[in-house]
Amino acid sequence: MKKIVVGSRESLLAVAQSMTVVRYLEENLPDAEISLLKMKTTGDKILDRTLDKVGGKGLFVKELDTALREERADLCVHSLKDVPMITPPDLPLIGYSKREDPRDVLVLPKGRDCPDPELPIGTASLRRAMQIKPLFPGYNIRPVRGNLQTRLRKLDEGEYGALILAAAGLKRMGLEDRISRYFSTEQVIPAAGQGILALQGRSGEDYSYLEKFCDPGAAACAVCERAFTTELGGGCSSPICAFAQVEGDRIRLRALYYGEKSGVIRTGQAEDDISRAAALGRKLAEKLRAEDQ
């Protein structure tokens, strides 16, 4: 009997996301034995500092990478926005899920219809903080760490007046009713890969059994958005972000550039044939960077 072990972070959201892959495998490979390996990553353990202070998003995949190399897991499921832009050659990204709602949202304490101006708005993302600041003038924006449940608890206990979170995570956890406001992708450009699940495996192995799970449109968007961010050297401490949409055989990219030295913030957009998704990302990055020279 074929055995397939799916690796996942142990947070409730990560497990919920990974279970979509497990259920797909159970339905499509009825003769295989499918199991889930849950792990606490370094990024889950360090909650008193922001990611840019402790090593970046790689802390969320480090232990899972080891499980793949040691063959304790056959593939791992990640939120694509948490995957470092450069992945090891021996552990390639082997597929992408259909994209969930990519938007960022405002979450308020239960019973409120607007943020308390005396309390901070919580977000762990510089990208979100920079883009929501003009939308909430006069509000203090403060970092918040922890898994989704921890952040919501801090909100409901009065530590924060509001949170900025990803719609995708709330919807996957059945918490859509906590969403008070959706920000359009023009108001707040999402992180590269937001709403997409990335599947990571070992090079040289046959993962054809995942073909029907993977979404070609999401793959094109993922490649385009990550090419933009990679070209500019963006990481977890950078507000650089990109959001692509596929329409027929065309792909359109909207992105935000931030000059680390100049402090310049620019947004831009461009489109091309879907077959040139990666080139489109790089081209727009080069264009926005040239405007900052």
Strands 104-107 and 162-166 turn out to be antiparallel
Residue type at 216? P
Catalytic site includes residue 48? no
Angle at 114 between CA 184 and CA 136, to 5 degrees: 55
Dihedral sign of CA atoms 270, 276, 281, 287 in order: negative
Phi and psi dihedrals of 35, rounded to 5?
-140, 160
Angle at 279 between CA 87 and CA 245, to 5 degrees: 90
Query: Whats the size of the chain, residue-wise?
Result: 293
Phi and psi dihedrals of 147, rounded to 5?
-70, 175
Tokens describing residue 83: 């995957």
SS3 145: coil
Q: Give the number of C-alpha atoms closer than 13 A to the C-alpha of residue 167, restricted to the C-beta side.
A: 17
The catalytic position among 65, 74, 82, 101 is 82
Q: Which of 181, 140, 185 is closest to 159 using CA atoms? A: 140
Q: Give the number of C-alpha atoms closer than 13 A to the C-alpha of residue 9, restricted to the C-beta side.
A: 22
Give the residue numbers marked as catalytic: 82
